[in-house]
């Protein structure tokens, strides 16, 4: 199915807030106004010269050192013939020629005759009365500009946070309503079972009376469960598009805030808005971020998360009915959800959205190839057959990587070679070109990968070989890639044992040829031990323990969660489990080693070919080993695919 990774349309709603950068244009104009008004204010209302005492002024007049004075009300400013020195505030000497002072309030009748006697040029000007708006401008403008700058910065801060400080408890759900690019089921490839289930939800929204006549109630909640990238979000949007109703979208993390109670407030406001526009759909992506088990692990739970979850539980099935409001949610971790969420009356329906099959992968590739020019040699059916276990998002990424590789080579169209290289990059990692390998290391590496390949073509239940390479990719120095030849959903014990033997083939080849062991088998041993543990603990495939499942298959994600759990088996059983795992691994290793000893010539031929070519196909491995088994190799990826990812041994 389409991976749900299509670009989401920008909704409009109460929580929408664009995130612009700081408005430097406004800041520039504020600075320019300050720059222009400063000199004007200084000129109009400022004072030139040095302030002196009235007594000093009279002494300078009597000494005949004053050339002219300007009288403006009580203010007297003037100019001296010769500069005069004056003691400053910090005892420094200041020389001045221009000065100003003020007449005493009681006046000085002798001043004018004295100025006339000294032949001082006297200029009189009227008092400058500052208008009321001028006074406001001078006194208030700087504060207004500072306040405006503060508001501007605050708005940019709030925009960056995506919320308003005065409406922090408001709903942050985005509303998609009447969009021009409406998503429908035609835009969703595969997931036929999920579509059938969701079609009934659409009928509820379009024609609720049809079900209410018979006493049926609208489902409260629909939970979409599936691996990442399988298109759960896209399915929810398609339901809204098909039903033609308002669609509120929000992620679980949008409820969380540093303040306790904010998440619960956002849940309430979201349901109020949805009921006002009913019938409508609320979609909560990544439900597990707020719906985790309450009180799990050491120290209990998170207060804000638990209050948010409690409010969500009440809104789904509380005292207030939410008629014609359907809550859809998506998660890839249903095992950690609180049990109160999953009971009937809340999330009534749980719909699995699994990895796509071969037919689904074909449909997905066609959707993502719409706007891409494809070469004639590129067969999408072969690409679908060679990508078992890929999700819709993986397939979209595959074609995108192929397009990038083709553009890098200045091609006009995407060719099959580009898709093959993109597949190798996704499955095995990026080729590492800066690694220098010695001849001895290259030989060890070739025999290691040859060991995987030879065991795989000899065992009857092993997956067919696609290619073997000693080109370093990702974290692996070499890779043996297997692809299943048909769809598999049930795996017998014989298949598991052969798969373990293939994983052990690299280490077995090292011992058979060089009588040593290298660190190159690290990832093989980890995968083999993990698989053997599952066989013993969960699948009942051990002879000693028999049909007993000891493990629950759930990953512990809460700190201290295992402390509160009671282990359901004794120490003696735990020891027996370890012995059984060791026994299975030893049996697989011995089987791989015996087969390589019997077919040492074929092992040598495959290793020599790898040293020379660095990469060979599954068909070449068959010819070199001398096995008449056409179905044991995949040439040009002619397999039917599988819901499980292909086997990659390092």
What residues are labeled active site?
449
Q: Which residues, 6 or more positions from 628, have their beta carbon under 8 angstroms from its beta carbon?
A: none
For residue 611, what is the enclosing H or E element? helix 600-613
Q: How many CB atoms lie within 10 A of CB 75?
A: 15
The residue behind tokens 């090292």 is 510
Look-up of token digits 């026994």: 583
CA 349 to each of CA 194, 200, 201, 202, 528: distance values in angstroms, whole numbers, following the listed order: 11, 11, 10, 14, 37
Query: CA-CA distance, 524 to 502, in Å (whole number)?
Result: 9
Burial class (CB in 10 A: 0-12, 13-18, 19+), 339: exposed
Q: Count of H helices and E strands in the chain?
A: 21, 15
- Tracing tokens 């791989």 back to the chain, one arrives at 592
Which phi and psi angles does 221 have, rounded to 5°? -145, 150
Confirm if 395 and 361 have CB atoms less than 8 A apart: yes
Is-cis flag, bond preceding 279, omega within 30? Answer: yes
Burial class of residue 248 (count of CB atoms within 10 Å of its CB; 0-12, 13-18, 19+): buried
Q: DSSP letter string over 100-143? A: EEE--TT--TTHHHHHHHTT-EEEEE---PPPHHHHHHHHHHHH
d(CA 115, CA 321) in angstroms, rounded, equals 96
Residues 6+ apart with CB under 8 A from 157: none
Q: Where are the alpha helices (DSSP H) in 346-488?
A: 358-368, 380-385, 392-408, 416-428, 439-458
Kindly report the backbone phi and psi dihedral angles of residue 433, in degrees, each rounded to the nearest multiple of 5, phi listed first. -95, -10
**Whole-angstrom Cα distance, residue 428 to residue 520?**
15
**35 CB contacts (<8 Å, ≥6 apart)?**
none
Q: How far is CA 167 from the centre of its chain?
A: 26
Rounded distance between C-alpha atoms, residue 176 and residue 282, angstroms: 10
Burial tier of 506 (Cβ tally within 10 Å: 0-12, 13-18, 19+)? buried
Looking at the DSSP assignment, which residues form a beta bridge with residue 248?
Answer: 175, 282
- Tokens at 400, concatenated: 């995108």
Instruction: Give the separation between CA 436 and CA 251, rounded to whole angstroms.
Output: 47
Q: Residue for token digits 């060089």?
A: 514
331 forms beta bridges with 225
- Judged by DSSP in three states, 633 sits in strand
Judged by DSSP in three states, 462 sits in: coil
Cβ–Cβ < 8 Å for 632, 622: yes
């Amino acid at each position: 199915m389409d991976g749900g990774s299509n670009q989401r349309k920008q909704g409009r709603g109460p929580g929408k807030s664009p995130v612009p950068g700081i408005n430097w244009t406004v800041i520039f104009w504020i600075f320019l106004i300050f720059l222009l008004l400063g000199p004007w204010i200084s000129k109009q209302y400022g004072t030139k010269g040095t302030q002196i005492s009235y007594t000093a002024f009279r002494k300078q007049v009597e000494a005949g050192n004053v050339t002219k004075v300007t009288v403006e009300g009580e203010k007297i400013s003037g100019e001296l013939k010769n500069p005069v020195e004056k003691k400053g505030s910090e005892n420094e000497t200041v020389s001045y020629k221009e000065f100003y002072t003020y007449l005493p309030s009681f006046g000085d009748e002798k001043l004018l005759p004295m100025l006339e006697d000294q032949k001082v040029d006297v200029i009189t000007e009227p008092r400058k009365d500052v208008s009321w708006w001028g006074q406001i401008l001078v006194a208030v403008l700087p504060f207004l500009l500072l306040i405006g700058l503060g508001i501007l910065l605050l708005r940019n801060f709030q925009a960056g946070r995506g919320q308003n400080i005065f409406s922090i408890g408001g709903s942050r759900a985005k509303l998609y309503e009447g969009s021009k690019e409406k998503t429908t089921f035609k835009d969703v490839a595969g997931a036929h079972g999920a579509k059938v289930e969701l079609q009934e939800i659409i009928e509820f929204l379009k024609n609720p009376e049809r079900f209410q006549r018979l006493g049926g109630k609208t489902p409260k909640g629909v939970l979409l469960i599936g691996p990442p990238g399988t298109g759960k979000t896209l399915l929810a949007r398609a339901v809204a598009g098909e039903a033609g109703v308002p669609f509120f979208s929000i992620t679980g993390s949008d409820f969380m805030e540093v303040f306790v109670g904010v998440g619960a407030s956002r849940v309430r406001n979201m349901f109020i808005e949805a009921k006002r526009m009913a019938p409508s759909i609320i979609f909560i992506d990544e439900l597990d971020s707020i719906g985790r088990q309450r009180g799990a692990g050491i120290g209990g739970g998170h207060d804000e998360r638990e209050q948010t979850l409690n409010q969500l539980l009440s809104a789904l099935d509380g005292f207030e009915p939410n008629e014609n409001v359907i809550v859809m949610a998506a998660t890839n971790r249903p095992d950690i959800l609180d049990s109160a969420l999953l009971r009937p009356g809340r999330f009534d329906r749980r719909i699995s959205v699994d990895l796509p099959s071969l037919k689904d992968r074909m449909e997905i590739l066609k959707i993502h190839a719409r706007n891409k020019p494809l070469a004639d040699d590129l067969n999408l059916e072969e690409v679908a057959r060679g990508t078992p276990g890929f999700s819709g998002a993986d397939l979209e990424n595959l074609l995108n990587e192929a397009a990038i590789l083709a553009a890098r080579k200045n091609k006009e169209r995407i060719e099959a070679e580009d898709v093959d290289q993109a597949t190798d990059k996704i499955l095995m990692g990026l080729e590492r070109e800066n690694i220098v390998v010695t001849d001895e290391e290259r030989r060890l590496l070739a025999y290691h990968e040859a060991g995987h390949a030879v065991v795989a073509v000899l065992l009857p239940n092993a997956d067919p070989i696609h290619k073997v390479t000693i080109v370093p990719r990702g974290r692996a120095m070499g890779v043996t890639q297997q692809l299943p030849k048909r769809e598999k959903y049930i795996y017998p014990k014989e298949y598991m044992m052969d798969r373990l033997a293939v994983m052990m083939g690299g280490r077995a080849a090292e011992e058979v040829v060089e009588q040593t062991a290298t660190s190159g088998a690290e990832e093989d041993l980890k995968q083999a031990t993990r698989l053997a543990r599952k066989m013993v603990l969960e699948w009942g495939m051990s002879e000693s323990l028999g049909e007993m499942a000891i493990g629950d298959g759930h990953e512990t994600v809460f700190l201290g969660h295992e402390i509160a759990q009671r282990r359901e088996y004794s120490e003696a059983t735990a020891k027996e489990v370890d012995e059984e795992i060791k026994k299975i691994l030893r049996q697989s290793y011995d089987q791989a080693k015996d087969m390589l000893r019997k077919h040492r010539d074929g092992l040598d031929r495959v290793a020599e070919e790898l040293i020379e070519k660095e990469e060979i196909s599954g068909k070449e491995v068959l010819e070199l080993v001398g096995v008449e088994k056409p179905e044991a190799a995949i040439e040009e990826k002619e397999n039917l695919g599988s819901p499980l990812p292909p086997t990659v041994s390092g």
